[in-house]
Amino acid sequence: MNQKTSFSSAYGWFIQRITGILLAFFLIVHINILHFGEKFFIDFNMVTERLQGSFWWGIFYIIFIPVVLFHALNGVWGLVQDYRPSSGLQKTVKAFFWTLGIVATFYGILAITTFL
C-alpha cells in the first residue's frame, strides 16, 4: 500500500458517497415517473413525449448517466478488492473499468439524445 493508492481509495470512498446521495434523488424521480405512473407499457412515443416536455430532462439524464456508471463501477471495484488481486491485475481491471465507464457514458448519452 503506497501513499498514492491510499489517496485514490480515499477519493473513491468519498465520491461513492456523494454519487450515492445524487443517485437517491435521480433514482426516486426516474422510477417514480417510469414505473409508478398511470401508463405502464413504455414505448418510443411515450419516452419522447416525456423527454421533450422539458429541457431539464436532457440535463437530468446527462448528469444521471455518468453518476450512476461511476457509482456502479466504483462499487464493483470494491468487490474486486475484496479478492485482494495483485497490483498488476488491479491496474488492468481499473483501466478496463475506466474505459468501460467512459464508453458507456458516451453511448448512454447518445442513446438519450434519440428522444430529445
Partner 1 sequence: MYEKKSGIIKYYFDEWGLNKNIGTFSWLLHRLTGMILALYLFAHIIVVSSGLWGPESFNTWLKVVQTPLTHFLEIFLLACIALHLLNGLRIILTDLLFVTKQHKAIFWVAGAIFVLFMIVTLSVFLPRVFSH
* Cα separation, 68 vs 112, whole angstroms: 15
Q: Of 43, 56, 87, 88, which lies in the binding site for partner 1, with binding defined by CB under 8 A?
A: 43
Q: Of 39, 44, 53, 87, which lies in the binding site for partner 1, with binding defined by CB under 8 A?
A: 44
Q: Of 3, 4, 35, 87, which lies in the binding site for partner 1, with binding defined by CB under 8 A?
A: 35
3-state secondary structure of 43: coil
The reply to whether 114 sits near partner 1 by the rule CB under 8 A is yes
Nearer to partner 1 (CB atom), residue 24 or residue 59? 24
C-alpha cell at 47: 419516452
Residue 54 CB, nearest approach to partner 1 (Å): 19
The reply to whether 21 sits near partner 1 by the rule CB under 8 A is yes
Q: How far is CA 98 from CA 20, 28, 60, 72, 88, in A?
A: 19, 26, 22, 12, 16
3-state secondary structure of 98: helix
The reply to whether 115 sits near partner 1 by the rule CB under 8 A is yes
C-alpha cell at 77: 471495484
Contacts of 79 (CB under 8 A, 6+ apart): none
Q: Of 22, 62, 72, 93, which lies in the binding site for partner 1, with binding defined by CB under 8 A?
A: 72
The reply to whether 40 sits near partner 1 by the rule CB under 8 A is yes
